[in-house]
Amino acid sequence: MAMRAVLRTILVGLALGLPLHAGAASADEKPAAPADPTPSVTQLTETARKSVVVITVTGRDGRQQGLGSGFIVSADGLIATNLHVIGEARPISVQTADGRKFAVTAVHAFDRPLDLALIRVDAKDLPALPLGDSDSLQQGQPVIAIGNPHGLKHSVVTGVVSGTREIEGRQMIQLAIPIEPGNSGGPLIDLQGRVHGLLTMKSAVTDNLGFAMPVNLLKTLIEKPNPTLMSRWLTIGALDPQEWTALFGARWRQRAGRILVDGVGGGFGGRSLCLSQTSLPDPPFEISVTVKLDHEEGAAGLVFCSDGGDVHYGFYPSAGKLRLSRFDGPDVYSWNVLAEVKNANYRPGDWNALKVRFEKGKIACFVNDAPAIESTDGRLAAGKVGLAKFRTTEAEFRSFRIGKELPAARPDDEATARLKRLIDELPADAALTPDAAGKFEDAAAVSALRERALALEHQAQQLKKLALEAHQRRVEKELVRVLDKPSDDDVDLFHAALLVALLDNDEVDVDGYRAELDRMARDISRELASDADEKTRLAALNRYLFDEHGFHGSRGDYYHRSNSYVNEVLDDREGLPVTLSVIYIELARKIDLKVVGAALPGHFMVRYQPAQGEPVLIDVYERGKVVPRADAEALIREVHQRPVVESDFAAPTRRAIIVRILRNLSGLAQRTQDLPGVLRYLNAILAVSPDAGEERFMRAILYLRTNRRAEALADADWLIDHRPEGINLNQVDELRRVLQRAD
């Protein structure tokens, strides 16, 4: 009975996890009762349409790239819409119902997980719509939706609230109303003319079903904005001009380590180039990149020997084949296909590693380390290298490299053979392998084939599980290596936080994101005089992050996992106090400022430590707000109902900061009953902090639940031998006895 009580206590704790978010704010005050008689739909529509705007996003060629809806929330030019309507790094304009046109001057606030945005125009007399309380909506309540579906401006449709649904992790209002492209961002209003939601997506189930984001979530953005001037908004994802030069149009951008391109280039064949500004070694040299196309009819890959214009070589996949071309000018008459081949090593629809080795008089092209094309064409002898795309192709590039001799993208033959042996030695439930279909026409053979198929499916699942665990162990070892430095100041905190994200997503480009942070530091430093003092550098850091780029604490979906992944925090400019602080601490270090963590109970901050003068507490979650010590102490007393102790303000080690992030993720996994996720984070915590007794005890319980008794017993034995603080050894003894009896 005692053991059942122990397990019941632990499992209840696992189910609880982190405290639940309190939810969206309600309306500030209860709206007055409508005058009788209730306005008709026609009257409401006539009034509301004056507040609905058309939002246009302009492409690089100056033409309309997208169109959506929005509505005015304040007379001084604040307009609400969906984030996906305004996209990223594009000029935005607004047209009101009376025909006035405005350029957007700032993105006043945005929240990527909630797909919400507030934009600002320079106006003083706009008709605003009143905001209702979306929590008060009733199932079956009649509502009106206004938007610009398919460019049909200020269209109106009526319907009812069907209920609320969780869509992609977000609680949304379900509507018996069709939502079409162009409707996104428009208001959902009740029969008193109050906005209750923002139309946001079309259901894939039926044409007469749509969804809206509750307006109460928008109120959080209104109360705590993160303004970003358009001059900075237009730089989101922009290529660093010191590293890249784009030619012939199309849209080249970067997302921390990857380069993405879409749109049609202005060169022959829809050609567009992105040339590296890195100096090349003398031949022979190699260039490589890993590329993925949106469809195999497209074409994108490497260019070399470019004169900075229309003349260059290109090696790229096109229509499922590999092609080496020489472009001698701007038109089809100067285009020469030197070779075009099919290659079994090319993987359609997947990432493919392209490499070119350039020597005098010889060009060797490879795909996924396998030879593909050789040419002795020597027309072009020198020039820049980079990337190319053709026609309407959308492509992603990663791991662009230049060097005298580049390493292979895949393991060598010996390593590959060793891995194959290990895989072949894995047990299978059947061993039937057909030589030809004709040998298996009777019922018994068909049944045997099916059994073999099931066995292979089982083996495939085991291989996936093995690959996942191997990846996790590899990341854990790298995390230990990064954290295990002679001095805590030597630890690259940002690198370690990226490895936490890599634990869950093996496509995180760690080197790319580290390079992105370096680029941000260079941007800050460019605005500083060489003799800038500490106060000036700190002001530049705050201005760059908060005033110009809009980094902010996540408001509407605090417990979204993206907020704990520092790479996504860097991309989306929003996150938790601790992940935002990681970026702040490391950027500060790169511009020679001493900033450390301040792990206040329940709310992580940072502490700026000037060479002279008193330390300063800074709340990065609140956009760099300076917090007086007395205010921080009052917060601790109010929230935790206890006296303040000096350890509340102690600077945690970088290892402790990483453990805190992992504990946040563990808590999120507990809330959703994701036991494999909980185990993954516990393993990582124990890899970097083996003495974490609470996590080791929790892991022992999880091992027991998943029938891994030997591992559970090993953890219980460790706890008995080491007796860490905070652990009830009587419970551990009981758990150990249960495990031994089971054996």
Q: Which two tokens stand for residue 386?
A: 């980079």
Residue 532 is predicted with a pLDDT of 95
In a domain, 268, yes or no: yes
Residue 31: predicted pLDDT: 41
Which pLDDT does position 300 carry in this prediction? 96
434 found inside a domain: yes
Q: Which residues in the chain come in under a pLDDT of 70?
A: 1-38, 59-66, 89, 149-154, 169, 180-182, 201-208, 256, 411-413, 415-449, 452, 556, 742-743
Whether residues 106 and 224 fall in one domain: yes
**How many domains is the chain partitioned into structurally?**
5
Whether residue 319 is found in the same domain as residue 462: no
Residue 535 shares a structural domain with residue 661: no
Query: Is 9 a member of any domain?
Result: no
* 395 plus 430 within the same structural domain: no
- For position 236, what pLDDT does the model report? 76
- Domain final residue, candidates 372, 403, 434: 403
- Residue at token pair 């509407």: 556
Looking at residue 636, which CATH number applies to its domain?
A: 3.10.620
DSSP for 621-663, please give it. Answer: GGTSEEE-HHHHHHHHHHHH-S---GGGGPPPPHHHHHHHHHH
Domain shared by 395 and 501, yes or no: no
Q: Are residues 564 and 662 in the same domain?
A: no
How much is the pLDDT for 25?
Answer: 34
Task: Tell me the CATH number at 119.
Answer: 2.40.10.120
Q: Is residue 480 part of a domain?
A: no
pLDDT, residue 37, reads: 56
Same-domain status, 52 and 153: yes
The helix or strand, by DSSP H or E, that contains position 714, with its residue range, turns out to be helix 709-722
CA distance 352 to 40: 60
**pLDDT on residue 269:** 85
d(Cα 121, Cα 76) in Å, to the nearest integer? 8
Asked if the bond preceding 284 is cis, omega within 30° of 0, the reply is yes
| Domain assignment present for 26 | no
- How much is the pLDDT for 296? 87
Print the domain residue range for 81: 43-231
- What CATH number has the domain bearing residue 665? 1.25.40.10
> What is the distance between the terminal CA atoms of the chain, rounded to a whole angstrom?
19
- Shared domain for 708 and 722, answered yes or no, is yes
Q: What is the 3-state secondary structure (H, E, C) of 328-345?
A: ECCCHHHEEEEEEECCCC
Q: Which pLDDT value is given to residue 441?
A: 53
Query: Would you say the C-alpha torsion 624, 625, 629, 631 has a positive or negative sign?
Result: negative
Residue 388 sits in a domain whose CATH number is 2.60.120.560
pLDDT the model gives residue 311: 96
pLDDT at 287: 97
Q: Final residue of a domain: which of 445, 469, 493?
A: 469
What is the C-alpha to C-alpha distance for residues 337 and 345, in angstroms, rounded to an integer? 21
What confidence score (pLDDT) does residue 389 get? 95
Does residue 2 sit within a domain?
A: no
Q: Quote the DSSP letter at residue 548.
A: I
- Is residue 4 one of the residues assigned to a domain? no
Q: What is the b/e burial string over 468-478, where b = at least 16 CB atoms within 10 angstroms of the residue's CB?
A: eeeebeebbeb
The answer on 293 and 183 residing in a single domain is no
pLDDT digits (tens, 9 = 90+) for 352-398: 999 999 998 899 999 999 999 999 999 999 999 999 999 889 999 99
Which tens digits make up the pLDDT trace of 220-244? 899 988 888 888 887 777 888 888 9
Same domain, 112 and 211: yes
Q: Verify that 89 and 71 share a domain, yes or no.
A: yes
238 in any annotated domain: no
For residues 81 and 219, membership in a common domain is answered with yes
d(CA 281, CA 642): 64
Tell me the CA distances in angstroms from 622 to 560, 581, 606, one per residue in order: 18, 11, 12
Dig out the tokens for 639 from the structure.
């929230």
Choosing from 618, 652, 686, the residue where a domain stops is 652
